[in-house]
Amino acid sequence: MSHILLRRSKALVQIKLVSKEIQLRSITFPEGFHKDVYKALFGTFRAVYVALLSDVKQNAMKNYNHIFEKLMRMRQACCSALLVPEERRTAAIKLWEELQKRNADNQNPLTAEEGKTLLEKLKGTFTTEKDEDSLLPECAICLMEMEMNEAVILKNCTHIFCHGCISRVFSGASSGCKAFCPLCRQPFENSDMIQRSIATASIACHDELTESKNSRMKTEKSGIEMSPKIAALLEAMKDMPIDEKGVIFSQFTSFLNLIGAAIEQAGHLFTRIDGSMATSCRTEAIRAFCSNDDDSPRFILCSLHAAGTGINLTRGNHAFMMDCWWNVAIENQAMDRIHRIGQTRKVRVIRFVMKNTIEERMVILQEQKSLQGKASVEKLNPDEQRRTRMSNLQGLLMLDDDSNSE
């Protein structure tokens, strides 16, 4: 026996929990700024990826890390196009116009070499100083968001992973042999793993409010219409009984900024917890939300990573999942912050998904993974995990059928 699985479910708990209702709410992109940005990101990336696949898939595998960076941009655009740095939006829209003109002129599809060239063009605009979410990178192995004190960078190739994943890769190497980077296959030793850290003690508890005000000013000055997801959230809030509270989850802290600005403008009090906050600030935010005082916050904004496990938010019984995660278990853990022992009200969960986008196909992927997980337990090495995700990516980009892009 190579490994053992211990599986526990709520069915083992003798105390009966209140009922939980989960609703999937599909939102259609209206014509305008947000839809245009998403279409440009999706169209350009799909064309580039198809070109890379034409070279026996080797180029696609070599560009694995950058490919998933572009995928994150599309996920951000599903939340709000404002999350995507302006330079990135401009580059994608310009490239999309060029590709559409190429198609109109009946030119041949992009070659692998052209695909590599265009991917390089997109790489340069991925990270900017103004890009808030780049402060919380994703591990390329487990695809979970990392706080800086959890991230490990490999000295030679500069690829970044969470401490747990890369430690397992290193410990799994044969005795006397070097481990290999899961992305580029470059060998590394224990001394090549460099821990990254950030100083959070100096972060003041009022920073979240300042960020929300700045986000509101940014949106008002730009004259850009509100994100369709935020508009749907505000509508859903109207259906809540006056004495009930809600928890709003997102994996993007910059999206929480925009949400905070919108609900503040709508007249709602809120507090917030995310990975950048000191422990004392998080504790105070939770205490304020759980209070029954008349002037206590009615909503709490939570980053999926910081509030996914270990905290009790049963004062709220409404959960709003603002974006999809690769593994539905991560979302379920977030929902369990309110659906747990001590909850006395019926729990209502709304999952917001943009229609005809990669989010809709991510939900299908979640369902497939859930069924596979119930049927068997499969242990994959890093190479196999990467190939599986590349296969999933083809489904997200609709390359497993003859469908057209959005």
The whole-number pLDDT of residue 232 equals 97
The whole-number pLDDT of residue 275 equals 82
88, 37 Cβ separation under 8 angstroms: no
How many C-beta atoms surround the C-beta of residue 271 within 10 A? 23
Q: For the whole model, what pTM was predicted?
A: 0.71
The whole-number pLDDT of residue 211 equals 47
- From CA 131, how far away is CA 234, in angstroms rounded? 26
Over residues 225-262, the pLDDT tens digits come to: 899 999 999 999 999 999 999 999 999 999 999 999 99
Comparison of pLDDT for 255 and 61, the residue scoring more? 255
Confidence grade of residue 7 (pLDDT, cut at 50, 70, 90):
low
Q: Is the pLDDT of residue 34 over 90?
A: yes
Over residues 141-159, the pLDDT tens digits come to: 876 766 666 778 887 887 8
Confidence grade of residue 271 (pLDDT, cut at 50, 70, 90):
very high
Q: Is the pLDDT of residue 403 over 60?
A: no
216: which 2 tokens?
A: 């509101």
Q: What's the CATH number for 148-195?
A: 3.30.40.10
pLDDT (mean) for 72-78: 92
Q: Is the pLDDT of residue 185 over 50?
A: yes
Which candidate, 284, 325, 328, places its Cα nearest to that of 303?
Answer: 325
Comparison of pLDDT for 380 and 270, the residue scoring more? 270
- From CA 267, how far away is CA 34, in angstroms rounded? 25
Lowest mean pLDDT among 11-15, 47-51, 198-202, 281-285: 198-202
Lowest mean pLDDT among 127-131, 158-162, 246-250, 328-332: 127-131
Comparison of pLDDT for 211 and 186, the residue scoring more? 186
Which candidate, 198, 202, 298, places its Cα nearest to that of 248?
Answer: 298
The whole-number pLDDT of residue 113 equals 60
- From CA 104, how far away is CA 175, in angstroms rounded? 58
Which residues, in sequence order, are bridge partners of residue 390? Answer: none
Question: In this structure, which CATH number among 3.40.50.1010, 3.40.50.720, 3.40.50.300, 3.40.50.150 belongs to the domain 16-26+204-359?
Answer: 3.40.50.300
What does pLDDT average to over the chain? Answer: 77
Q: Is the pLDDT of residue 355 over 80?
A: yes
The whole-number pLDDT of residue 208 equals 41
The values of phi and psi at residue 85, to 5°, are -55, 145
Comparison of pLDDT for 387 and 311, the residue scoring more? 311
323, 256 Cβ separation under 8 angstroms: no
Shared fold status for 16-26+204-359 and 148-195? no
Domain ranges of the chain: 16-26+204-359, 29-131, 148-195
43: which 2 tokens?
A: 């169209």
The whole-number pLDDT of residue 277 equals 85
Comparison of pLDDT for 131 and 385, the residue scoring more? 385
- From CA 138, how far away is CA 162, in angstroms rounded? 8
Which residues, in sequence order, are bridge partners of residue 161? Answer: 152
pLDDT (mean) for 174-181: 78
Which H helix or E strand runs over 246? strand 245-250
404: Cα separation from own chain's centroid? 25
Question: Packing angle between helix 358-375 and helix 328-335, nearest 10 degrees?
Answer: 90
Q: Is the pLDDT of residue 289 over 80?
A: yes
Confidence grade of residue 210 (pLDDT, cut at 50, 70, 90):
very low
